[in-house]
Amino acid sequence: MPESPFASRRGLLFGAAAVSAGVFATGCTSNEPSKKDESAAKDQPAADDKPGKPVTIGFAGPQADHGWLNAINDNAKKRAEKYSDVTLEITEGSNDTAQQIGQIETLINKKVDVLVILPADGKALTQVGLKAMRAGIPVVNLDRVFNTPQAYRCWIGGDNYGMGLNAGHYIGEKLKDKQGAKVVELAGLDNLELTKQRTQGFDDALKNYPNISKVARQAAEFTVESGQAKMAQLLQAQSRIDALWNHDDDQGVGALRAIEQAGRDEFLMVGGAGALAAFEAIKADNGVLKATVLYPPTMAASAIDLARALGQGKGVGGLAEFEIPSLVTCYSAVVDKDNVDQYMSTGFQ
């Protein structure tokens, strides 16, 4: 799963509403995009789609061993295909640090115009980001952040703190009139900073609702199997709960299995990321899953837009500055039955 930059960046939010018809029309979403905007994001290139200077973009990401990571790759490829002036050089992807560094160095040696890098480990790959920048190749650092801003021209990624904050506020509003409400949390990997940020945001939101107590928390591993096992433990330990926040829709598949096996339906569940299966369950509205908080993989499409703009020496449509921003944090919108149709086309499998 993704690891976004340090918590101080969480205040920098650039949603689609902020940049209007700009290059982020498909990537960083506002909470309520219009259906017209959503259709445009799916079917059309972003702003300034007239062919310009040819740009070769090198794209290097980790191994797509998770639904979200696979969606990152798909979004990048499909976005590049929409531009006749973009050539995409994409690596095979690897979770092995040395192998990914080698793949990026190959792209540097090919003298691509711009690099988009989602590092398997931001700290470990910082030096190769610096190497690219020193070679005159601007780097768009996607989600998992390098250790220094000198290693990238622009960072774009998700808001992990915002995920937790928005999940907590959604649950809080649903339970604000229920005295003694109990919530539980199914987190991701506790050794990841992103998990800590999501939990902190959730806890901070719940402070606004004194009637709600978080009574239990389990950390899973972003897999179906771990989600099922850890959810079963939560249910066994708690005879009654009113809400569950699950950090990840992939592990949520397992969590829902455990819930069904236990025959429990007295609570509402909020997921995280934006999987198609979650959207479909929310739309059907016949189970405990009522909402999911986005960590949009469409940020990879926006990274291609940014890379193209950098390669062509352009700024961002909808903003006054001549240059693209140095940091772009995607908004973690809450998707429920009221707006799920607007987001359905962005759901990943």
Q: Write the pLDDT tens digit of every residue in 281-302.
A: 999 999 999 999 999 999 999 9
Yes or no: say if 297 and 71 are a contact pair by the CB < 8 Å rule: yes
Q: Give CATH for domain 7-158+296-332.
A: 3.40.50.2300
CATH superfamily membership of 161-294: Response regulator (3.40.50.2300)
* Two tokens, residue 340: 């799920």
pTM of the model: 0.83
Q: Write the pLDDT tens digit of every residue in 9-66.
A: 333 333 332 332 333 433 453 333 334 333 334 444 445 678 899 999 999 998 888 7
Q: Measure the CA–CA gap between 152 and 59, rounded to whole angstroms.
A: 14
Query: Whose structure tokens read 């690596």?
Result: 91
**90 phi and psi angles, rounded to 5 deg:** -115, 135
> What does the longest C-alpha to C-alpha distance in the chain come to?
63
Q: Regarding beta strands 86-90 and 139-142, do their DSSP bridges make them parallel or antiparallel, or are they unpaired?
A: unpaired
Read off the DSSP letter of residue 344: G
Q: Measure the CA–CA gap between 119 and 151, rounded to whole angstroms.
A: 12
CATH 3.40.50.2300 residue ranges for the chain: 7-158+296-332, 161-294
Closest CA relative to residue 31, chosen from 319, 320, 331, 244: 331
Q: Write the pLDDT tens digit of every residue in 116-130.
A: 999 999 999 999 999
What Cα–Cα distance (Å) separates residue 24 from each residue in 18, 179, 182, 223? 9, 42, 38, 30
Q: Which residues are 156's β-sheet partners? A: 142, 328
What Cα–Cα distance (Å) separates residue 127 from each residue in 9, 133, 297? 22, 10, 25
